[in-house]
Amino acid sequence: MTLIVGMANADIGFLVGDTLLTPLLEIKGNRAGIVNGEFHGLKIQILNDQVAIAFSSSNAADIALSIIADVRRTLQSNSQTDVCAKVLEN
């Protein structure tokens, strides 16, 4: 399960979420994770000062990160991109 909490106001913003990717993912043939035998990754990806995208499925982390990267590239070329629509399109 993933829990992500965010808050922002005129002075500060923050996001807090877990990083544990479960079930264990095999990376480069290594069946044991590199952090205490488990795999961790950033589930919250901050794309710019107004957009962050998070994912919760460890089984599809590579797909989620690919979608997030595509949204980031699109945002870089068009800052008015509808992020929700772009994620849905992917």
What pLDDT sits at residue 1? 60
pTM for the whole structure: 0.66
User: What is the chain's Cα-based Rg?
Assistant: 15
Distant-in-sequence, close-in-space partners of 22: CB < 8 Å, separation ≥ 6: 38, 39, 58
- Residue 88: per-residue pLDDT: 92
For the segment 18-35, what is each residue's pLDDT rounded down to a tens digit?
766 654 455 556 566 666
Helix (H, G, I), strand (E, B) or coil at 36: coil
pLDDT by 10-residue block (mean), the chain, 90 residues: 77 79 55 63 82 78 87 94 92
Burial of 39 (0-12, 13-18, 19+ CB in 10 A): buried
